[in-house]
A and B are shown apart, each in its own frame.
Chain A
Amino acid sequence: MTAIDVPGGPTARLGGRLRLRDSGTGRLFGALVVVFVGGYLASWLLPGFGVFPESWDVGFAEPIDRARRWLINNQTTHGLYTVFLNPISDAIDAAIRWIESALAWLPWYVYPVFTGVGLWWARSRMAGLLGFLGVWVIGVLELWEEGLSTLALMGVSVIISLAIGIPLGIAAWRSDRFAKLLRPTLDAMQTMPGFVYLIPFVLLFGIGRVPSVISVFIFAVPPVVRLTEVGLRNVAPSMVEASEMFGATDRQTLRLVRLPQARPAILAGVNQTIMLAMSMVVIAAFIGAGGLGQVVLRSLSSLHVGRATEAGVAIVIMAIILDRFSQGIATADPGRDARWIRPLFGGTVAAAIVGGLLNHSAFPEALNWQFAGYIDDAVGWMQIHLYDIADSGIGTGPFSDFVTLNLVSPLRELFSSAIPWPVMIGIGVVLGLAARGIRLGLGIGAALTLIGLLGTWENAMDTLAQVVVAVVVTLIIGIPLGILAAQRDRFQTALNPFLDFLQTIPSFVLLVPVIMLFHVGRIPGIIASILYALPAAVHYTDLGLRRVPHEIGEAADSFGSTRLQRLRKVDLPLAAPELMVAINQTIMLVLSMVVIAGLVGGGGLGFEAVKGLRRSDSVGSGFEAGIAIVLLAGILDRLTRAVADRLRPPPAIA
């Protein structure tokens, strides 16, 4: 058997690639020339040469600000609030309060023990021990109350997400029509950087925990909906038939067969939802969610890197515990340890009640110990010694300056003014046309124009420049790592825990160590985005290459190709669709991080959005920036996906 025997297979795949190159290149080039000539001509004729004309700004901010004022004034009187929003708001608020007071009532020592026992049950003794110690760390760092507050918020958000998400998933499985409606909605929800969800809810509910919970819910719900549906759809028909043969009703089959069979998928969705909720709960500190996120935010804003680090550590500990626990539920098998775990669990419950009655809720102050001081000292030291080593012009500071001056700023200039905006829009249209067709091309054109009309052109191009730099660097590092991981199992095994760890860190927390090294500016945001997106780039490259059928690789070897030749001529082309997915994911993750980095001097749309959240007079412009972020995300996502689809082999001829 050689590759030649497989008609619909590899040759067709390569054909898919060639099409894009051969017939496309000439026309693509021609179209770009037209765009450049036409665009330059147009920008001669239009005011402001190349800069998006200010007079075209539709002034969307103003009505938003007006709406905000109206909303504030009518919060207690208008039906929208009294009948609809306030009851929701009150219910969520009550739930948070109730859970928080319940958590605060429990004695502090129940938490480490319960975590330890839970992780022991779900994973292993070692995980249990580490979890036990981890919870102590949170208390020792004097972050106990903030931790509980974050936990309460997580609890409410996750419960709401599951209580709504799982039934939605079931409904989507039941009705194809509903699924058809829901899927693009979920897609859109997942392309948006979580950060922008905060904006509309702040507008409606003001600052506080209620809008936080709602935006966390919106951000975190898609995976559990999706995976519930997928899990139910993948239940083997033979199982369903067997059940129906016994005269089970649809409901019985759902409860007794379908849902249990879909359990692993649903739990995977629950895990993802919990992790998204965790990262969003931290980001929601921007709108007054409080808790650990707020400590990070406050400390970062005042450049108390030490305290920010402590809170970051606490968040990461919490995230890892929640991740490992929710991952472990599906496969939990304590085996013989069950005889220890059960009484221990019972004992913990008893201790919880007794300790609660005895009012043992506060973490003992005697145990407090903080390392913020050391970190601050270290940061001070680094800023003297690393930031610019012996004033030699070598160090992280000059590095930042160098990259900013020579890479990021020129690119921003290029996008925002050197290339006139009509040309940029034209390029977008042509790329969309080439990747999918007229509709995508026009859609991109419209979206870009709208970005301009919102008065956000310059900021958007600033953000785009940062995204481009971060994406290119991520791919330059990530793709080779992925190739290595695909070729050497041992390398993959060594790399995985590190990537896993990176992925567990909520995006916002990633900024902390980067700030330590690079101070504020555009560079820490870019570096944090690289770290944030790297796991996905490596993972999808690895996955794509591993999916290349073994025989095809062997066929290449049989012709005597070198390793590099095989990689270049066979493996990479065949893995091209997955590589495109890697690029797509990298772009989306980078974008969501670059936006958050607006907080630490990242500039661009993110800065506008942050400002909108923090200053009540800038809500309108923050809203505009939010829309621009959504549009930019949509453009980049559609475009990369279209290319990925192009690279996929045509369906085999039946």
Chain B
Amino acid sequence: MPGAVRTVGVSGLWKVFGRKPAEALAMAREGVARQQIQDETGCLVGVRDVTFEVNQGETFVVMGLSGSGKSTLVRCMSRLVEPTEGRVEICGADLTAADAAELRELRRHKIAMVFQHFALFPHRRVVDNVAYGLEVQGVERNERQERARELLSTVGLDGWSDHYPQQLSGGMQQRVGLARALAVDPEVLFFDEPFSALDPLIRRDMQDEFLSLQERLQRTLIFITHDFDEALKLADRIAIMRDGAFVQVGTAAEILTEPANDYVRAFTQDAPIAKVLLACALMRPLAEGAPEGSWERISTLAPLEKALPLLLASPNPLVVCDAEGEPVGLLHGEDVAEVVAGNSR
């Protein structure tokens, strides 16, 4: 894990929609089911006692089916929706206790959001869309435009700044959305299913670009998706959400190898495990020094599908090496077999 500075802390977060939140909250605390609460109070529990922390530079993915409360969770975390109870801390500031002016300050400098349907301003040119956050902060015109153009070239949209968003393709529009969020140089970025509205091919491109951007920028990212493959590809850690509550939180490997219940297993079953699990996830740490001999070497970031042919070709485990080429662990054939077989059952 990258540096261990905590940037996002959520504790005991609840959101109840409806007229009698207190009553519904009390029932939910006693463990009454969501449906029954809704029948009796007319209130809907959108987020149910969610607690987690995210560190600086980490990508935290929230995955769940439609209606499971993912959007409500990020909207509570940015206070587009008022949480019913609980605490959200961003960079040490208590967002839930902030008054209107403090909240504005936090939104101006610390957090930003990329929306599922882009939510670009159709009456502003691309460059003015990207500059919006800076304009709101009162940054002077030339300066904000310059910064906006810089960011547009970062996301590969040089030469499009004077167009209007609706003149761009979906993928390009979401790049604008990304540039707009990055323009204010936020610590924490929320992504609410940013790629679900895109074609599969473009989605893959955007995911790759997302990864390379994150490698450079190292921000704290809260990423919402309903696509398990996307979660596996992008996440440092994944939270699986159901009916407003977190069912399981862990790395891709942990979730794939030890699904907490049948609900999670339903996702992991079809996951292309050999593609998404990396060598570092299954390796056994080196106990004593580098092993002798001419065992095959493999990078920590290599997916299992790369390791499989090598393992089949030799009776020995593979030596897993980090970016500097230093051996850090051993990947044993039986471990890989167990995971891959368990998965395809």
Contacts and interface: CB of A to CB of B under 8 A. Distances in A.
B119 A242 contact: yes
Nearest to A261: B123
Contacts of B133: 246-247
Interface stretch (B100-108, B146-154, B217-225, B278-286): B100-108
Interface string A29-69: 00000000000000000000000000000000000000000
Interface in A219-260: 238-239, 241-249, 252, 256-257, 260
A324 interface: no
B170 to A, nearest CB: 15
Interface string B93-131: 000000000011111110111010101111110000000
Nearest to B190: A245
Given A244-B80, A246-B108, A238 B119 contact: yes
Contact of A247 (B80, B115, B137): B137
15 contacts: A239-B119, A241-B115, A242-B121, A245-B113, A246-B107, A246-B112, A246-B184, A247-B105, A247-B108, A248-B136, A249-B104, A249-B136, A252-B136, A256-B136, A257-B121
Contacts of B135: 256
B145 interface: no
Contacts of B111: 245
A436 interface: no
* A238, A242, A243, A256, most chain B CB atoms within 10 A: A242
Contacts of A239: 119, 121
- Interface size class on chain B is 20 to 34
A113 B27 CA distance: 75
Interface residues of A, number: 17
Interface string A589-624: 000000000000000000000000000000000000
A263 interface: yes
A537 to B, nearest CB: 36
A261 B135 CA distance: 17
A242 B115 contact: yes
Given A239-B121, A246-B133, A252-B136, 4 more contacts: A238-B117, A245-B113, A248-B104, A257-B121
B78 interface: yes
A245 B78 contact: yes
B60 interface: no
B115 A238 contact: yes
Nearest to B111: A245
Interface of B: 78, 80, 103-109, 111-113, 115, 117, 119-124, 132-133, 135-137, 184
A241 B80 contact: yes
A239 B117 CA distance: 10
Contacts of A249: 104, 136
Contacts of B113: 242, 245
B123 A260 contact: yes
Nearest to A236: B119
Nearest to A264: B123
A248 B138 CA distance: 10
Give the top 4 A-B pairs by smallest Cβ distance, nearest first. A247-B108, A247-B107, A246-B133, A242-B119
Nearest to B113: A245
Interface in A499-519: none
A434 B136 CA distance: 56
A247 B80 CA distance: 11
Contacts of A252: 136
B132 A246 contact: yes
B288 to A, nearest CB: 52
Contacts of B105: 247
A298 to B, nearest CB: 48
A252 B120 CA distance: 16
A596 B206 CA distance: 66
Contacts of B115: 238, 241-242
A289 B320 CA distance: 93
Nearest to A249: B104
A245 B107 contact: yes
A246 B137 CA distance: 8
Contacts of B107: 244-247
Contacts of A242: 113, 115, 119-121
Contacts of A241: 80, 115, 119
A197 B151 CA distance: 58
* A238, A243, A245, A260, most chain B CB atoms within 10 A: A245
A243 B117 CA distance: 14
* B80, B103, B112, B184, most chain A CB atoms within 10 A: B80
* A241, A246, A260, most chain B CB atoms within 10 A: A246
A248 B103 CA distance: 10
A610 B186 CA distance: 69
Nearest to B103: A247
Contacts of A248: 104, 136
A244 B108 CA distance: 9
A390 B196 CA distance: 80
Contacts of B184: 246
A349 to B, nearest CB: 26
Contacts of B121: 239, 242-243, 257, 260-261
A592 to B, nearest CB: 37
Contacts of B80: 241, 244-245
B23 to A, nearest CB: 23
Nearest to A253: B136
Contacts of A257: 121
A247 B95 CA distance: 13
A311 B121 CA distance: 47
Contacts of A238: 115, 117, 119
* A238, A241, A247, most chain B CB atoms within 10 A: A247
Contact of A256 (B122, B132, B137): B132
B134 to A, nearest CB: 9
A396 to B, nearest CB: 54
A247 B119 contact: no
A247 B106 contact: yes
Nearest to B75: A241
Nearest to A238: B119
Nearest to A246: B133
A257 B80 CA distance: 17
A243 B123 CA distance: 13
Contacts of A261: 121-123
A257 B119 CA distance: 12
* B103, B123, B124, B137, most chain A CB atoms within 10 A: B123
A245 B112 contact: yes
A335 to B, nearest CB: 14
Interface in A243-293: 243-249, 252, 256-257, 260-261, 263
A260 B135 CA distance: 15
B45 to A, nearest CB: 21
Contacts of B109: 247
B91 to A, nearest CB: 15
Nearest to A250: B100
A209 B71 CA distance: 59
Contacts of B119: 238-239, 241-242
A264 to B, nearest CB: 10
A244 B124 CA distance: 16
A245 B95 CA distance: 13
A10 to B, nearest CB: 31
B136 A247 contact: yes
A262 to B, nearest CB: 10
A244 B103 CA distance: 10
A399 B115 CA distance: 69
Nearest to B104: A247
A238 B71 CA distance: 13
Contacts of B78: 245
Contacts of A263: 123
* B103, B117, B136, most chain A CB atoms within 10 A: B136
Contacts of B137: 247
Nearest to B116: A238
B186 to A, nearest CB: 10
A497 to B, nearest CB: 30
A244 B104 CA distance: 8
B104 A243 contact: no
